Chain A
Amino acid sequence: AQTVTQSQPEMSVQEAETVTLSCTYDTSESDYYLFWYKQPPSRQMILVIRQEAYKQQNATENRFSVNFQKAAKSFSLKISDSQLGDAAMYFCAYRSAGHNNNDMRFGAGTRLTVKP
C-alpha cells in the first residue's frame, strides 16, 4: 500500500519569508495525484495545490508552489511571502489515478507557525 511521510511535525517561519514543507511517498504506480491540504483551527480541510504525476511542470498557485521529484518520490510545498493566515496544519496526500482505486492516503501533517 502507498504511504505518505511528512518528516517535519512542526515548522516555523517569519512573516514575509519563505518556508518549505517536505513530503515523501512510497508507491509502485506510475500515474497518480499528489495534493497539499491546509487545515486551519476551524478544522476544515482546504485544498492548497495539486499535482498530476504525469506532468513534469511543478504546480503553482499564487504564493504556493511545489517541487515534484518523481524519481525521488518527493513532493515539497514552498510558501513564499508567508502571511499570518498561512498558519495551519498542512497535509500531504496521495491518490492513485486508477479509476477503480479510491484510496487516498494522507501524511501525518506539519504544523506551520508564522511569526509576526
Chain B
Amino acid sequence: NAGVTQTPKFQVLKTGQSMTLQCAQDMNHEYMSWYRQDPGMGLRLIHYSVGAGITDQGEVPNGYNVSRSTTEDFPLRLLSAAPSQTSVYFCASKPGLVDKTQYFGPGTRLLVL
C-alpha cells in the first residue's frame, strides 16, 4: 500500500489564483481530512469527510472547498488564494470516524504571493 499520497509537494501561487491539492489513499478508509500547519500553531482541521458524498467543516474552513466523489480521493480546492493561506497542508485518513489513529500524508507546502 502506498498509504496516503499528496500532490504536489510544493506550489507557488499568486493572490487570486485557484488550485486543487490532491489527496488519495489506497487503504479503503472511510474517513479523510485536511489540516493546515502554521508555525507555532500546530495542525488545524480544515474539512473532513466520513465517506463518499459526505463532507463537513472543521476548525478553519473559510477559503477552502472539498468534495468526496470516491472513497480514495479527497481534493482540497482554493478558489481564490490569499497570502494567509500560505501554509503546509496535510491530508489524513483512518478507517472510520471513531477510529483513534490517523494516517498522514507527506504534506504539501503552499506559498501564496
Contacts and interface: CB of A to CB of B under 8 A. Distances in A.
Interface stretch (B11-19, B20-28, B69-77, B90-98): B90-98
A99 B42 contact: no
Contact of A109 (B35, B42, B102): B42
Given A43-B88, A104-B102, A99 B97 contact: yes
Contacts of B56: 102
A47 B101 contact: yes
Contacts of B106: 42-44
Nearest to A34: B100
B41 interface: yes
Interface string B22-45: 000000000001010000111111
A1 to B, nearest CB: 8
A48 B112 CA distance: 32
A102 B88 contact: no
A98 B43 CA distance: 20
B105 interface: yes
- State which size class the interface on B falls in: 20 to 34
A102 B58 contact: yes
B101 A50 contact: yes
Contact of A45 (B59, B90, B98): B90
Nearest to B100: A33
Contacts of B50: 102
Contacts of A42: 106
Contacts of B97: 99, 102
A43 B45 CA distance: 17
17 contacts: A9-B40, A33-B100, A35-B100, A35-B101, A43-B88, A44-B107, A45-B104, A47-B101, A50-B101, A102-B50, A102-B56, A105-B42, A106-B35, A106-B42, A106-B43, A108-B41, A108-B42
Given A108-B40, A109-B42, 8 more contacts: A9-B40, A33-B100, A43-B109, A44-B104, A45-B43, A50-B101, A91-B42, A108-B42
The 4 closest A-B pairs by CB, nearest first: A106-B42, A45-B104, A43-B107, A106-B43
